[in-house]
Chain A
Amino acid sequence: MNALEKPRELTLSILAEVAEVTPDDLEPHHRLREDLGLDSLTSLELLSRLGEALKMDLEFEQAMDIRTVDDACLFVERQCSVPQ
């Protein structure tokens, strides 16, 4: 999937894989920790996979504000809109 064209779909599919749910089960307000059961390690896994898909080295500071499914989608959308 091309990240730049469909950032939201890409985010949801990676997130669903890491959280072991189907993309349809994800709601924008779901919290990564409390609702999807991600801990520090699986959160890092998610962000590392997103970084690989975006071909970017994501820094911790950028990543730590992502708390919900919607945060993750908005984050990726923002990264995709920045001229590379």
Chain B
Amino acid sequence: MLRPAVIDDAGARDGAVSLLLPELRRYLARDVDGEAIDREGAIPEATRDGLARLGLFGLTIPESHGGAGLSLGAACEVVATLAEADRSIAIMVGLHAGLGTRGLVQHGTAELRDRWLPRLASGECVASFGATEASAGSDLTMLSTRVKPVAGGLRIDGEKSYVTNGGFAGLFTILASSPGLGGARAASLVCVPRDAEGVKIGREEDKLGIRGSSTVTVTFDGVVVPWSHLLGEPGKGIVLTHGLLAWGRTIMSAGCVGAARSALAMAMAHTHTRRQSRRPLSAFGATRAHLAWMSMRTRAMEAIVRDVSAAAEAGGPIAIPSAIAKVYCSDTAFAIADRALQLHGALGFLEPTGVARLLRDCRITRIFEGANDVLLVRIGAALLADPSALGRTGAEALDALALRLGAAVDAARRRWGVGAVNHQLALQRIARAHIALAVGAALLDGDDAGSSHAVSELVSEGNEALEALDRADTDDARAAAVLSVLAEA
């Protein structure tokens, strides 16, 4: 049977990780029942304990505080491996290693780090992150949770929605509006222990996918924490959150890689065993095209995650690269899961094969840690603000695309000036072309020979986006016309 190279351990660069991954795979195959996690809507405590014994809660926590101190890239490889087996577990561990503990590791006071990081590393305590509120989703400036200085520390009042890991987390990092701390409408990041008086945990949400992952509302009713629980400079919460999100989005993209690997493996296995018209499905040209499409895109996802992780390790800014990885990986993982389901026919639509669950699990990644529509606008705006981000790769087709995109960006800057911000469709199409280019360039950075097809496909996608860019204003006007007809009816 053809075994796709993407299922190998090519990404496992850190020595520690290459030792951990085989052991982790054995544990996941032996002790984790993804179907039961989905059915019961919870990860069993025994599984959490097992993961803790393997050291998975300490992946990115410094060795000085009991963790493994792994790089972002190495943590990504672990999260991808978890997502191959079960996305709820990958989200739990990924959120803990990303948004959950990153703020404390980077910006926590010595006292807070010494107190909490060892417990978070051992898995005795799991971390959560709360930014979203009922009225503050994509727009985090609408926060109504407040933190204010009082005698004895900082008082927190408000409610956070959709808090991942919240059902059992021991420590919450929350973003709250902080009048009186760095400006009347500034926001700050604060750590709140679960057992602080006034913390109330809501019931578990009933979800489409990642059903085993804990998602709850957390209410803070007159909670008081010491000043040492403030992360970073007071009033700098939004800026710090953007930094944490860049790290978290990269880890989440790695989860998408794992989901795609799993979808591809299931599709490969099924199409080689299922026979119709006296031959295996994999012998049909149309099936082969689907499998190749899935395999090439899985490679591309792996490449962009590696690329962003390497940039982070080199100390470079990854706000836009991580948004690029997040949009590409979440869109693509869902599309790959959809093809895997199609190739399974009716069996794919039934729950026992696990493909339906995979598709359900992947859907959320296009929404959380920045909805893709919003991130596309940001990626487009960032390129307009700084076109020098378009570097040369040395590969002819990619450089031709870069040239064409550069010309389109110049034209947009001349045509709309800074008013380009009001042309969302155009910004999104510029972003799509930029994503194709960035992912293509990341594939060149890798050392596998099979990526040239993937690069050609990405170049085609980039060119299509630029063709659509020419129609952006027309499409915008058409959409407005259609909606005004609807409004009149």
Contact = CB atoms under 8 A, between A and B. Distances in A.
A and B part of one assembly: yes
A79 to B, nearest CB: 13
A75 B385 CA distance: 18
Contacts of A43: 385
Contact of B238 (A37, A41, A64): A37
A47 interface: yes
A70 to B, nearest CB: 17
B350 interface: no
A65 interface: no
Contact of A60 (B141, B183, B236, B418): B418
Interface in A44-61: 44-45, 47-48, 51, 57-60
Contact of A21 (B184, B239, B242): B184
A40 B319 CA distance: 11
A20 B185 contact: yes
28 contacts: A20-B141, A21-B184, A21-B186, A24-B184, A25-B183, A25-B185, A37-B236, A39-B242, A39-B382, A40-B378, A40-B384, A40-B386, A41-B377, A44-B381, A44-B384, A48-B421, A51-B417, A51-B418, A51-B419, A57-B417, A57-B419, A58-B417, A59-B417, A59-B418, A60-B384, A60-B413, A63-B417, A63-B418
B420 A59 contact: no
A41 B422 contact: no
Q: How large is the interface on B (under 10, 10 to 19, 20 to 34, 35 or more residues)?
A: 20 to 34
Contacts of B384: 40, 44, 60
Interface of B: 141, 183-186, 236, 238-239, 242, 319, 377-378, 381-382, 384-386, 413-414, 417-422
A40 B382 contact: yes
Contacts of B186: 21, 25
A57 B413 CA distance: 11
Per DSSP, chain B at the interface is helix
A3 to B, nearest CB: 16
Contacts of A45: 421
Interface residues of A, number: 24
Contacts of B242: 37, 39
A64 B417 contact: no
A47 B319 contact: no
A72 to B, nearest CB: 12
Best-buried of A34, A39, A59 by chain B (most CB within 10 Å): A39
Contacts of A47: 418
A57 B419 CA distance: 8
Best-buried of B239, B381, B418 by chain A (most CB within 10 Å): B418
Given A34-B239, A60-B413, A44 B418 contact: yes
Contacts of A41: 377-378, 381-382, 421
A63 B421 CA distance: 13
Given A21-B186, A25-B186, A39 B417 contact: no
A48 B183 contact: no
Nearest to A26: B183
Nearest to A36: B239
A44 B378 contact: no
